[in-house]
Amino acid sequence: MIMDPKSNIPIIYLKSIDDDQGVFIWIGILEAASIASALQNVTFDRPMTHDLFKNLVESLKMTVSNIEIYDLKENTYYAKINFLSEESSFSIDARPSDAIAIALRSGALIYVDDKVFEKFKHMNGDTEIFDTSEEGKKWAEYLKNLKPEDFSKYKV
């Protein structure tokens, strides 16, 4: 996870362990703080929202088996959290940022469907620039040329 140095918007970069495919997911500042605290093993005196969720799941004798980012439609990612208990398994819909924050706290695997990688690759050709000012065009060009290795320059 990094902060975009120009817009100060948090971005998560998820990369495949099998190849060089990856996706960028822009997220909210509160979710970024929750993810950063989990990544850095920061604990608080009182539980934060994602900690409460994890505590509830554990008290119900369930586990988060994994999360899946399973679709990308109109620049919106879709995710689900998969649960296991002795009696059953089920999934719930979630924002990817919340699902990632919960997965990190639960030690659950994070999966990205191959079609999401594919849609992300083709997204540049389908995007429309809403801000046609010089500044808007400059941002569109910056985002178009953003590469995974650029993210190692900036840490949260």
Q: What angle do CA 153, 23, 34 make, to 5 degrees?
A: 70
E runs forming strands in 6-99: 10-15, 22-26, 62-73, 76-85, 89-94
Residue pLDDT, tens place only, 26-71: 999 999 999 999 999 998 999 999 999 999 999 999 999 999 999 9
Q: What does the alpha-carbon distance between residue 113 and residue 69 come to, in Å, rounded to a whole number?
A: 6
- Hey, what domains does the chain have and what are their CATH numbers? 2-153 (3.10.690.10)
Residue pLDDT, tens place only, 82-137: 999 999 999 999 999 999 999 999 999 999 999 999 999 877 544 455 556 777 66
Model confidence, pTM: 0.78
